[in-house]
Amino acid sequence: MARSAPSASSQSSYQQGISTFFRCFKEPAAELFTKHLKSNPGHFKSLLYRGISYKILGNRQKALADFSDARRNGNPCEQLIVDGYVKVFQGNTEEGISLFRKATVQYPKDPIGWHFYGLISCTYLNSSSQDVVTALQKSIELGNEQAGLDYYFLGLIMHSSGQTKQAVHYLREGLKLCPTHTNNYIQLGKVLLEDDQQGEAEILLRKAKELNDTLIEIDILLHKVSLLEKQDDASPQNDASPQDDASPQDDASPQDDKSSQDAYQSWHHHSPFSKESETQQDQSSEHDYEKTRSLTWKWIKENKKEKAMHGKTVLYKIKDPAKDGDYLWVSLDTAKHAGSAFKVWEDKRSKIVFKSSYDEHFKEMKQKHDSNEGREIKKCDLVKK
C-alpha cells in the first residue's frame, strides 16, 4: 500500500517516540507516536510501536485497535508481522513465531521478519539457539532500523552462555545505535560488574538512571557497586552480606530458608535466557539471587509509605515505579517458584488487587502463571503497623 513520506517535523516526533520507548517510558512514547500519526495517518511503525506501548501499559483494547490499523496499512511482510505479534499477544506464542519465520522465508530481504523472529523467540521462548542468533545477525546485516535492539538481544544470549567478551561487544554496539536504551546500559553494567569492572559499570548504571530514574533495579545495582567498593577497602565490617541488616527473613515465614535448588532452575537474574544455562544454576547463582532479593527487599522497606499485615504476611506500600501517582503493595514470595521473589498488588480505593509475581530485580514476570490471579483483599482486612 502506497504511503506518503512523513514530514520532517512529524518524523522527529516518531524518532522521539522511539527514543522515549527505549527509555522505558511507554506512556509518553505512545503520546509521541500519536503526535506523529496526526501528520502521517497510517504510518505503520508508529501504529505498531504505539500498539506495543499500549500492550505494555495494559490497555488491551487500544493495543488491538492499533495492531488492526497497522495491519491495514502495512505491506505483505508487515502484515505477517502484525498477525504474528497478535498471536503472541493472545498467548499463542508458537503460532506467532511460525508467522515470523514465514515472513523470513517469503520476504528474506526484509529485516523486520528476521528482527521479530529473533526478538520474540528470545523474549517468550527464552531461546538462545543458533537459529535465533542467525536471525538477529541477518536483521542487522539487512539494515534493520532497530538494529540496536538486535545487538542488545545478541548481548543477552552471549551473556547467558558465558561468552562475556562477545556479550560486551554486542551490548556496546547496541548502545552506539540506540544511545537511549536504558535496559542496554543496565545489562552492560551487570556484565561488567560481574567481570570486576566496577568503575565503568557504575558509569553505565548512572547513565541509565539519568535516562530513567524510576527503575528500582538501577538503585539496587548501584547499591551493590557501593558494597563492592567498601569490600575493596578491606573493611571487615563491610564484608557482611546484605542479609545481615536487611534479611527477608525479618518479615518472612521460616520456610524461606527451605526452598530447594529446583526453585532456581528458571529464575531470570542475568537475562531472559538463563533457563537455557542450567550449568550456571549453581551455588553462586543461588547466592546472587538471595543477595539481590535481599537488597531489593531492603530498598522496599526503606521506601515504604505504609506497612500492613494480612494474616502472617507482611506487605509494604510503595510508589509504583512504572506509573507516576500509583501505588503497589509488595510481599515476599516464600515459595519462590520459577524464580519469583515478590508478590505485587495494585492499590485501589477500598481494596488491593493482585497484579503479578516479580523477580529479585523487581521486574514483572508477565509470562508466569500465578494462582493469585484475580484475587482481591479488602483494605479493611489489612492490619496497619
205 with 297, same domain?
no
Distance from C-alpha of 233 to C-alpha of 149, rounded to nearest angstrom: 38
The answer to whether residues 199 and 306 belong to one domain is no
268 assigned to some structural domain: no
Final residue in a domain of this structure, among 196, 213, 230 = 213
Whether 273 is in a domain gets the answer no
Whether residue 331 is found in the same domain as residue 199: no
Which of these, 149, 133, 139, lies nearest to 77 by C-alpha position? 139
Look at residues 213, 235, 262 and tell me which one is the last residue of a structural domain: 213
136 and 150 Cβ atoms separated by less than 8 Å: yes
Among 213, 228, 256, where does a domain finish?
Answer: 213
Angle at 104 between CA 101 and CA 105, to 5 degrees: 90
Query: Does any domain span residue 86?
Result: yes
What pLDDT sits at residue 95?
94
Residues in the chain: 385
Instruction: Provide φ and ψ at 268, rounded to 5°.
Output: -110, 45
Which helix (H) or strand (E) segment is 12 a member of?
A: helix 8-22
Judge whether 356 lies within some domain. yes
The answer to whether residues 147 and 26 belong to one domain is yes
Residues linked to residue 353 through DSSP beta bridges, in sequence order: 346, 376
295 and 185 in a single domain? The answer is no
For 310, counting Cβ atoms within 10 Å of its Cβ (0-12 exposed, 13-18 middle, 19+ buried), the class is middle
Question: Which spans in 107-215 are helix H?
Answer: 111-125, 130-141, 147-160, 164-177, 182-194, 198-211
Tell whether 41 and 142 lie within a shared domain. yes
- Tens of pLDDT along the chain (385 residues) come to 444 344 444 447 888 989 888 888 888 999 999 999 999 999 999 999 999 999 888 889 999 999 999 999 999 999 999 999 999 988 888 999 999 999 999 999 999 999 999 999 988 777 678 899 999 999 999 999 999 999 999 999 999 888 999 999 999 999 999 999 999 999 999 999 988 898 999 999 999 999 988 888 888 888 888 887 777 654 444 443 334 333 444 444 333 333 333 333 333 333 333 333 334 444 556 667 888 888 888 888 888 889 999 888 999 999 887 666 788 999 998 888 888 899 999 998 889 999 999 988 888 887 767 777 778 999 888 998 7
Query: Is 196 strand, coil or helix?
Result: coil
User: pTM of the full predicted structure?
Assistant: 0.66
Verify that 180 and 291 share a domain, yes or no: no
Grid cell 571487615 in the structure block, residue:
236
Q: Are residues 180 and 94 part of one domain?
A: yes
pLDDT at position 371 is 74
Count of C-beta atoms within a 10 Å radius of residue 231: 13
Give the pLDDT of residue 272. Answer: 35
Domain presence at residue 380: yes
Residue in 7, 4, 132 with CA at minimum distance from that of residue 73: 4
Residue whose C-alpha is closest to residue 267's, from 367, 171, 133, 372:
367
For residue 197, the domain's CATH number is: 1.25.40.10
62/64 Cα distance (integer angstroms)? 6
pLDDT recorded at residue 196: 87
Question: What pLDDT shows up at residue 260?
Answer: 32
Determine, yes or no, domain membership for 304.
yes
| Residues 195 and 310 both lie in one domain | no
161 and 296 part of one domain: no
Q: For residue 213, what is its C-alpha cell?
A: 530514574
Report which residue type is found at 297: W
Q: Which residues pair with 307 in a beta bridge?
A: 316
Whether residues 179 and 304 share a domain: the answer is: no
CA angle 146–149–155, rounded 5-degree value: 150
Count of the separate structural domains present in the chain: 2
Ranges of beta strands (E only) in the chain are: 306-310, 313-319, 327-332, 342-347, 351-358, 376-378, 383-384
CA of 360: how far to CAs of 66, 206, 217, in Å?
33, 20, 9
- Between CA 296 and CA 247 the distance in angstroms is 10
Decide if 263 is inside a domain. no
Q: Do 183 and 44 share a structural domain?
A: yes
In Å, how far are 171, 197, 246, 269, 354 from 297, measured between CA atoms?
Answer: 29, 26, 7, 15, 18
* 204 vs 194: CA distance, rounded Å: 14
Note down the domain range covering 299. Answer: 286-384
Could you give the CA distance from residue 144 to residue 119 in angstroms, rounded to a whole number? 13
Predicted local distance difference test score (pLDDT) of residue 8: 41
Say if 239 falls within a structural domain.
no
3-state secondary structure of 64: helix
The CA distance from 148 to 95, in Å, is 26
